[in-house]
Amino acid sequence: MTVHLKDIAAYTGVSIKTVSNVVNGNYEHVGPKTRTLVLEAIKKLNYKPNVAARHLRKAPVGVLAYAFPDLANPYFAEVGEAIVAVANQQGYTVLLDFTSAQRDKELNVLTGLQPHLLDGVILDSHALDLEDIVLNDTQRPIVLLGERLFGASVDHILIDNVAASYTATKHLLSLGKRRIAAIGVQQCRSEAPSLRLQGFIQALTEEGLAVDEALLLEGGLWHRADGAAAMRRLLSLDEPPDAVCCFNDLMALGALSVLNESSYRVPGDIAIIGIDDIEDGRYANPALSTIAPDKHEIARLAVTLLVERIKGTRNGPPECIKAPFRLCPRASTLG
């Protein structure tokens, strides 16, 4: 028996409009208690949204989407390039969808676009909630990238973020640096900053070093300008750091530009390292040390799993796979 919105409404005693709001992720006018009530009823009655859309589903069209949050960060362009290359080898066209980390745009790529348009989506989400994924039932397979929505019951590819920043910080410690700052520490919807902070603190703690709160700086949008602003604040301290671990390369490049205009020498006075290994950093002056996620492996895994789900050759439970990364020490730490 097909369960409809009105059945959920009758079961919970809330209006159809409210049930619809929960199903469509419009939580503004729905209190947390009602939301939980409706979500539990949806699970209990085994309600499947978009059954109509499912009946409309057609043969594969050979098109995948890669939805990513930030066009200004070459990391996503480099991953996108790798995804396009792998997908093309497997006969798929890839459309890139730039979401600005906005919830409505991320929802749009999952459910809003024409139902026949896409066979599947690779989504680096920065705004959706777990329910958005769980409730999504357009039968359009999804592979998640990045540090959010763990337990969303879809395949998920990422790197070990704690180990990445731990490795970067250990590298700075191995060079004799002791007063190490971090740029990119913040509360936000992605878990990347807190995981990277965790690895940073772990490395310092293992070395018997205390964490100085004054050396933990936010990084705004994680762009060059944010790294530059944070570096200026660090240089204005009575006791500036002797090294900086930036939680991505763009912030590190911004920080580096401030150091280049200062009287501090890199890496003698202040060493600097990032995470991402974007091409930009390899051509910087001095060249930027970094942690390099294996972008080709991330792309290969994401496309392969997605295509297998589309073709139905993979039917097991969702997998969460960690792609490898490696330390790339360059002149910004080694001199």
Which residues of the shown chain bind its own copies in the complex (CB under 8 A)?
61, 63, 65, 71-72, 74, 77-78, 80-81, 84, 93-98, 100, 105, 108, 113-114, 116-117, 224, 228, 253-254, 256-257, 260, 279-280, 282-285, 287
Beta bridge partners of 124: 145
**Alpha carbon 28 to its chain's center:** 25
* Torsion angle in degrees (nearest 10) through CA of 89, 95, 98, 99: -110
Minimum distance between the CB of residue 316 and its own copies, rounded to whole angstroms? 31
Nearer to its own copies, 98 or 209 (CB): 98
Minimum distance between the CB of residue 173 and its own copies, rounded to whole angstroms? 26
Minimum distance between the CB of residue 5 and its own copies, rounded to whole angstroms? 25
Nearer to its own copies, 10 or 113 (CB): 113
Nearer to its own copies, 65 or 154 (CB): 65
Half-sphere exposure of 252 (CA within 13 A, CB side): 33
Nearer to its own copies, 39 or 235 (CB): 235
Nearer to its own copies, 198 or 257 (CB): 257
Minimum distance between the CB of residue 23 and its own copies, rounded to whole angstroms? 22
Minimum distance between the CB of residue 81 and its own copies, rounded to whole angstroms? 4
SS3 198: helix
Minimum distance between the CB of residue 219 and its own copies, rounded to whole angstroms? 15
Nearer to its own copies, 22 or 145 (CB): 145
- The residues, any chain, with a CB within 8 Å of residue 26's CB and separated by 6 or more, are none
User: SS3 string of 136-189?
Assistant: CCCCCCEEEECCCCCCCCCEEEECCHHHHHHHHHHHHHHCCCCCEEEECCCCCC
CB neighbours of residue 86 within 10 Å:
20
- The residues, any chain, with a CB within 8 Å of residue 302's CB and separated by 6 or more, are 83, 122, 143, 145, 155, 157
Please give the structure tokens belonging to residue 232.
């200026």
Minimum distance between the CB of residue 147 and its own copies, rounded to whole angstroms? 22
Task: Report yes or no: 255 and 192 within 8 Å, Cβ to Cβ.
Answer: no
End-to-end CA distance of the chain: 69
Nearer to its own copies, 38 or 64 (CB): 64
* CA distances in angstroms from 120 to 67, 247, 248, listed in the order given: 11, 30, 28
- What backbone phi and psi angles, to 5 degrees, belong to 269? -80, -50
Minimum distance between the CB of residue 326 and its own copies, rounded to whole angstroms? 21
Nearer to its own copies, 74 or 146 (CB): 74
Nearer to its own copies, 201 or 244 (CB): 244
Half-sphere exposure of 288 (CA within 13 A, CB side): 31
d(CA 217, CA 93) in angstroms, rounded, equals 41
Minimum distance between the CB of residue 31 and its own copies, rounded to whole angstroms? 30
